[in-house]
Structure 1
């Protein structure tokens, strides 16, 4: 019987599932949001939230635990310096799952998982004015780059 077994198995062995979740957690920390299947997103959320909790602790032991799971020092550095301070005032619920609908090829339910307190860096070339003049200027920039 499967009574009280909380772990989503995802039809993988334990080592494959651990590697999959570690890689997905690294991608989530690196990019801030990823698009995946709903089942994988639901399995990733507790892992990602535990990583943010380690980042909020900020001590050496927590950093070593994060490196042991994620296996990428640069991602752990980003977790402790960018992601965790953004969620410093939040006591939980660091991730958000948004359902997208079925994937075209196999109709698998898709979702986006992202950090709630995600820091979005804006591009310098974004035109703030949305009038017709700004649209024309933007179109001229696109044409100039194409040539």
Structure 2
């Protein structure tokens, strides 16, 4: 029974759970969105909301509060990693540092890189200066984790309203809808072009119709003259016979 137990336990000890929430928050602040299970996303959401609200104050005391809740660390070292593909180095949420700002030792350890707390204070907090809350959203992916079948979701910062395909691709349903829209538009343009062509050709056919109409008129006028002449000739022959 859950007697006097606050919050989600997530089947972990308090120390393990605290470290996990810190790592999830650090990953979200570094990349702008992360993929995790639904229970973890719901558990870390209030923690992230409080950190952003504290960072928006912008004071030295607020900075120290964030450092006590979120362990400071070097971030964005993967920008200068040649093994990371270029498409993964694009971020729609904020500008990434250049490779010159990141340095490694001869043993491969990170020597110089941006700091997490400074990144939260200077880049994350100003994004939500005019927002009073609700800095994150949970987007269902419809996929399940291999092994235990856990429901996978995407936890992301709000502000980029392009949907769950922020990573750069477009969903299959959207591509299919775009193709159908383009096809119907091409059909509509084809019908309009055919109608305009027929209307343009119609006046060109009118002059032959007038010529055809004039020809029967001349024949109708000439034909009645012959019976009249024959009738006069017959009348004269009958008078001659009487005389």
Q: Per-residue CA shift, 1:70-114, capped at 9, x if unaligned? A: 111511111111111001100000010111232233211111001
Q: TM-score, normalised by structure 2?
A: 0.46
Give the aligned partner of residue 56 of structure 2.
Answer: 56
Give the aligned partner of residue 82 of structure 1.
Answer: 123
Does 2:144 match 1:105?
no
Q: Kindly report which structure 2 residues correspond to 1:1-147, keeping only aligned pairs within 5 A, or say none.
A: 1-2=1-2, 5-72=5-72, 74-101=115-142, 102-117=144-159
For residues 34 and 60 of structure 1, the distance between their equivalents in structure 2, rounded to whole angstroms, comes to: 29
Q: Per-residue CA shift, 1:18-53, capped at 9, x if unaligned? A: 010011101110111000011110001001101101
Which 5+ residue runs of structure 2 have no aligned equivalent? 74-114, 161-243
- Match of 1:46, SS state, is helix
For residues 91 and 4 of structure 1, the distance between their equivalents in structure 2, rounded to whole angstroms, comes to: 31
User: Structure 1 residue 6: deviation in Å?
Assistant: 4.2
Runs (4+) of structure 1 exceeding 6 A deviation are none
For residues 42 and 48 of structure 1, the distance between their equivalents in structure 2, rounded to whole angstroms, comes to: 10
Q: Per-residue CA shift, 1:98-145, capped at 9, x if unaligned? A: 112322332111110011025xxxxxxxxxxxxxxxxxxxxxxxxxxx
User: How large is the Cα RMSD of the aligned pairs?
Assistant: 2.0
Structure showing greater relative contact order (alpha-carbon pairs closer than 8 Å, 6 or more residues apart): 1
Matched positions, count: 120
- Match of 2:2, SS state, is coil
Q: TM-score, normalised by structure 1?
A: 0.75
Point out the structure with max Rg over C-alpha: 2
Which 5+ residue runs of structure 1 have no aligned equivalent? 119-147
